[in-house]
Structure 1
Amino acid sequence: MRRILAAAVAVVLAAAGCGSEPEPATSPRGWVAPPADGRFDYQLGGAYPPAAGVRIVDRDRAADAPADAYGICYVNAFQTQPGENGWWQAEHPDLVLTRQDPDWPGEHLLDISTPAKRAALGEIVGGWFEGCAAKGFRAVEPDNLDSYTRSGGQLSAEHAVAYARILVSKAHESGLAAGQKNAADFDGRSLGFDFAVTEECAVYDECGAYLDRYGDQVYEVEYTDNGIDAYRRACRDHGARISVILRDREVVPQGEAGYHYESC
Structure 2
Amino acid sequence: MFALVGAGLAGMMGAMNRRHALLILTLGACGSSGSQPGDTDTGSETGTPAGVLLPPANVAFDYQLGGAYPLPAGVGVVSRDRNDPPAASAYNICYVNGFQIQPDEESFWQGEHPDLVLRDDQGMPVIDADWDEMLIDVGSDEKRAAVAAIVGDWIAGCATDGYDAIEIDNLDSYSRSGGRLDEDDAVLAMRLFADAAHAAGLAIAQKNSAELVGRRSEMGTDFVVAEECNRYSECDVYTDAYGDHVLVIEYRMNDFDAGCADFPGLSIVLRDLELVTPDDGAYVYDGC
How does the TM-score come out when normalised to structure 2? Answer: 0.80
Task: Please tell me whether Structure 1 or Structure 2 has the larger radius of gyration of its CA atoms.
Answer: 2
Does residue 1:150 correspond to 2:173, yes or no?
no
Q: CA deviation at 1:189?
A: 2.9
CA deviations on 1:35-74 (whole Å, 9 max, x unpaired) are: 1222110000010111121110100000001111110000
Does residue 1:216 correspond to 2:244, yes or no?
yes
Instruction: Report what 2:117 is aligned to.
Output: 96
Amino acid aligned to 1:182:
N
Q: CA deviation at 1:178?
A: 0.2
Does residue 1:47 correspond to 2:68, yes or no?
yes
Bigger Cα displacement from structure 2, 89-98 vs 252-261: 252-261
| C-alpha separation in 2, matches of 1:54 and 1:192 | 27
CA deviations on 1:119-141 (whole Å, 9 max, x unpaired) are: 01000000000110111000000
Instruction: Report what 1:124 is aligned to.
Output: 150
CA deviations on 1:94-132 (whole Å, 9 max, x unpaired) are: 001110102111x11000000000001000000000110
Identify which of 170, 188, 213 aligns with 2:196: 170
| C-alpha separation in 2, matches of 1:213 and 1:92 | 36
Does residue 1:140 correspond to 2:161, yes or no?
no
Identify which of 96, 107, 110 aligns with 1:86: 107
In structure 1, runs of 5+ residues without a counterpart are: 1-20
| C-alpha separation in 1, matches of 2:47 and 2:67 | 34
Give matches, 1:31-42, under 5 Å.
Answer: 31-42=52-63
| C-alpha separation in 2, matches of 1:216 and 1:133 | 24
Return closer, same or farther for 1:24/1:158 CA change in 2, 3 Å cut-off.
closer
Greater length-normalized contact order (CA 8 Å, ≥ 6 residues apart): 1
**Is the Cα–Cα contact under 8 Å of residues 48 and 221 in structure 2 kept in the other structure?**
no
Q: Residue 146 of structure 1 aligns to a residue in which SS? A: helix
Q: Residue 88 of structure 2 aligns to a residue in which SS? A: coil
Q: CA deviation at 1:255?
A: 2.1
Give matches, 1:1-264, under 5 Å.
Answer: 23-26=46-49, 30-97=51-118, 98-105=125-132, 107-187=133-213, 189-190=216-217, 191-224=219-252, 228-238=253-263, 240-264=264-288
Amino acid aligned to 1:52:
A
Using the aligned pairs only, state the percent identity.
49
How does the TM-score come out when normalised to structure 1? Answer: 0.87
Q: CA deviation at 1:22?
A: 6.6
How many correspondences in the alignment?
Answer: 237
| C-alpha separation in 2, matches of 1:40 and 1:147 | 26
CA deviations on 1:153-205 (whole Å, 9 max, x unpaired) are: 11111111111111110111111100010111112531211110000011111
**Is the Cα–Cα contact under 8 Å of residues 189 and 214 in structure 1 kept in the other structure?**
no
**Is the Cα–Cα contact under 8 Å of residues 271 and 284 in structure 2 kept in the other structure?**
yes
Instruction: Report what 2:28 is aligned to.
Output: none
| C-alpha separation in 1, matches of 2:47 and 2:127 | 37
**Is the Cα–Cα contact under 8 Å of residues 41 and 50 in structure 1 kept in the other structure?**
yes
Amino acid aligned to 1:73:
C
| C-alpha separation in 1, matches of 2:180 and 2:62 | 35
| C-alpha separation in 2, matches of 1:23 and 1:57 | 24
